[in-house]
């Protein structure tokens, strides 16, 4: 599942958001995405790979 939030310091990157995903097993991962390139919405399912509790979002996850 995906959640989307503004960056913690929007002064430096006002045109980006943080996309955070959680797997069914509880692994969590996130990445920053330019708002203009954002293609996913809250609750979407995206491609990622898990190692233990770390989730790595695919390079193009939520980006066009």
Where along the chain do its domains lie? 2-57
pLDDT at 6 > cutoff 90: no
Neighbours of 41 (CB within 10 A): 9
Position 10 pLDDT exceeds 70: no
pLDDT 10s digits, 20-33: 999 888 899 999 99
Cα separation, 9 vs 18, in Å, equals 11
Average pLDDT of the segment spanning 23-47: 91
% of the chain residues with pLDDT over 70: 98
Mean pLDDT over 8-14 rounds to 74
pTM, to two decimals: 0.82
């Amino acid at each position: 599942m995906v959640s989307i939030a503004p960056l913690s310091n929007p002064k430096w990157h006002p045109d980006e958001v943080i996309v955070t995903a959680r797997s069914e097993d509880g692994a969590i991962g996130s990445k920053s995405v330019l708002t203009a390139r954002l293609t996913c919405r809250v609750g979407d399912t995206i491609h990622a790979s898990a190692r233990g509790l770390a989730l790595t979002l695919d390079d193009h996850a939520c980006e066009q």
